Amino acid sequence: MRPPPHILVVNGIKVHQPVFVLAAPHSGAGLVARALKRSPGFHVTMGKATVSHVARAFARRPSIAGRGMGATRVLRDAMAESWRILPDACRRCPAPCREAGGVTGAGPCASAGSVTRFGDASPDLLYSATVLLQAFPDARFVQLIRDGRDVAADMMADPEALAWFRPAMLTDETEFPNPFLGVNSGEHRERWKAMPTAGKCALRWRSAVRLSASLRRELPREQLLTLRYEDVAASFADTAEQLTAFLGTRVSRIALYGGNAPRVGVWRSRLRGADAELVAKVAREELTRLGYA
């Protein structure tokens, strides 16, 4: 049974139906977050330290997220701190969040007087989805799915993503199963450490889309919208209409047009033969189920 609703007020604004954007790395979450962030009434944050530290702690140690109301309060408090609108708040935002909001000076990206909806699209938020639902029972979730081969290709070109694949990331204290890295058992620790980077990227994507599939089974349709990235890239106008209908608040298609959208099919030119074969092998079941192979 869900806990009783908690009324959260940020800058004098009651948090109602916050929007959380969930996805595997390099799956288009930033593009959707940018559109929301530049739409009237929205205040959307991306990767602020207060949220990222908590989200990644939950991702790497799933048992933390299972600690009842304690975990819920921690995540709710992190969101409240992230959403505070202060004169210098944007100075502490990461570059993607500042760019998405069009911030060029020292001022905040939103005005408290104009905000009606809050949201967050921090990396790795997917692994906190169940806790987010407990913290915000009326939340709306938008999740994106992208071809795992394209995801692997982009991850392999991203130093920040690659930093999570160092052998030291799997230690004797690591919890299993570990959805964050896609490793199900401690018995697979050494195999994971010896696996080429392309395989590790595929494991991480495979685990993320499995979590996304679980959310589709568990959440009612009025709370979860799943977007296929390839469909988003094919028609920004249709995507804006879907988001507007789902959220009940107008979402700007102009902001989607103006985003730096990842290319579709990039894996064909950027994944070497052996890497492409390994990604296809590791993620074959999910690539097939989702119509990518």
DSSP 31-80: HHHHHHHTSTTEEEE-S-HHHHHHHHHHHH-HHHHTSHHHHHHHHHHHHH
Same domain, yes or no, for 240 and 135?
Answer: yes
Same domain, yes or no, for 139 and 154?
Answer: no
Give yes or no for a contact between 134 and 58, defined as CB atoms under 8 angstroms apart.
Answer: no
Same domain, yes or no, for 56 and 14?
Answer: yes
Q: How far apart are CA 104 and CA 109, in angstroms?
A: 9
Listed in sequence order, the residues at least 6 apart from 187 whose beta carbon sits closer than 8 Å to its beta carbon are: none
Same domain, yes or no, for 50 and 85?
Answer: yes
Return the pLDDT at 86: 77
Same domain, yes or no, for 175 and 292?
Answer: yes
pLDDT at 134 over 60: yes
Same domain, yes or no, for 27 and 87?
Answer: yes
pLDDT in tens, 196-219: 999 999 999 999 999 999 999 999
Return the pLDDT at 5: 56
What is the share, in percent, of the chain residues with pLDDT greater than 70? 91
Same domain, yes or no, for 71 and 44?
Answer: yes
Return the pLDDT at 283: 97
Model confidence at 169, pLDDT cuts 50, 70, 90, reads confident
Q: What does DSSP say about strands 9-10 and 13-14: parallel, antiparallel, or unpaired?
A: antiparallel
Q: How far apart are CA 169 and CA 162, in angstroms?
A: 11
Same domain, yes or no, for 90 and 114?
Answer: yes
Q: How far apart are CA 75 and CA 72, in angstroms?
A: 5
pLDDT in tens, 59-108: 888 887 666 678 899 999 999 999 988 777 676 777 777 677 776 666 66
DSSP label of 127: G
Same domain, yes or no, for 209 and 243?
Answer: no
Model confidence at 147, pLDDT cuts 50, 70, 90, reads very high
Q: Total domain count for the chain?
A: 2
Supply the mean pLDDT for the chain. Answer: 89
pLDDT at 8 over 90: no
Range of the domain at 226: 1-146+220-262
Model confidence at 1, pLDDT cuts 50, 70, 90, reads very low
**What is the reported pTM?**
0.92
